[in-house]
Amino acid sequence: MTVHPLRAALALALSFAAHNAAADLVIYDDALRNGFVDLSWPGPLPNPDMNYCANFHVHQGACTIFYKAHDWNGLSFGRPGQPLSTAEYPQLTAWIRGDAGGERLTVHLQSGGSVVASAPLEAFVAGGTIGNGAYQAVVIPFAAPPLGYAGAFDRIDLQDASGIGGGDAQWVFIDDIRLVAAGDAIFVSGFEP
């Protein structure tokens, strides 16, 4: 049996790409994964402002993160003692849904307990603002403005940027959070199944 040269070349290229491509790193898909822990503030779970397995307004799977953003509180995913690098994972993707629309959050990257980069989350949301009633893609390329960071990080925070009181909290749903591996050229957005 003879193999067509084009098929052989394509098979070799796909085999090489599959062998050399690093895997994306899931932060959250129904639960925290891959060594990420909850470092949200104020306080540990159970926290009435954060539910890591809300079963309503789910994007995919059985659970979503429900976050009542107010008074500068923060949702935080950390890997203490297990830093990551933007060279290895240059991009973060997620899905976000606002309840009222126009919710304001800030994304921070931390390394060793210090904030190393910070920017308005809305800058990375499809359409430029968190909408109400439907999930939108979030794509954060770490090295690009307005975040503009290259280096190590061990924590990702989403912090209330409104400062409003708890009685008027912004309701936000966040799901399917992952770090996209460098060289993931075929599935660069991280949203393909």
Question: Is residue 135 over pLDDT 70?
Answer: yes
Q: Tell me, what's the pLDDT at 22?
A: 73
pLDDT confidence bin for 48, thresholds 50/70/90: confident
Structure tokens at 130: 């968190």
Q: Tell me, what's the pLDDT at 89?
A: 98
pLDDT confidence bin for 64, thresholds 50/70/90: very high
Q: How many residues does the chain have?
A: 193
Question: Is residue 14 over pLDDT 60?
Answer: no
Of 179, 190, 189, nearest to 154 by C-alpha is 179
Q: What is the mean pLDDT of residues 137-165?
A: 96
Q: Tell me, what's the pLDDT at 16?
A: 42
Q: How many Å apart are CA 185 and CA 193, to the nearest integer?
A: 15
More confident residue, 159 or 6: 159
Q: How many Å apart are CA 167 and CA 63, to the nearest integer?
A: 25
**Architecture of the domain defined by 24-180:** Sandwich (2.60)
The residue with tokens 């909290």 is: 169
Task: Read off the pLDDT of residues 66-94 as tens digits, 9 standing for 90 and up.
Answer: 999 999 999 999 999 999 999 999 999 99
pLDDT confidence bin for 13, thresholds 50/70/90: very low
User: Rounded mean pLDDT of the chain?
Assistant: 86
Q: Tell me, what's the pLDDT at 46?
A: 62
> Per the confidence metrics, is the pTM higher than 0.85?
no
Enumerate residues 6+ apart whose C-beta is below 8 A from 12: none
Element containing residue 16 per DSSP (H, E): helix 5-20
Structure tokens at 112: 């060793």
More confident residue, 77 or 47: 77
Q: Tell me, what's the pLDDT at 42?
A: 81
Residue ranges of domains in the chain: 24-180
Q: How many Å apart are CA 24 and CA 54, to the nearest integer?
A: 24
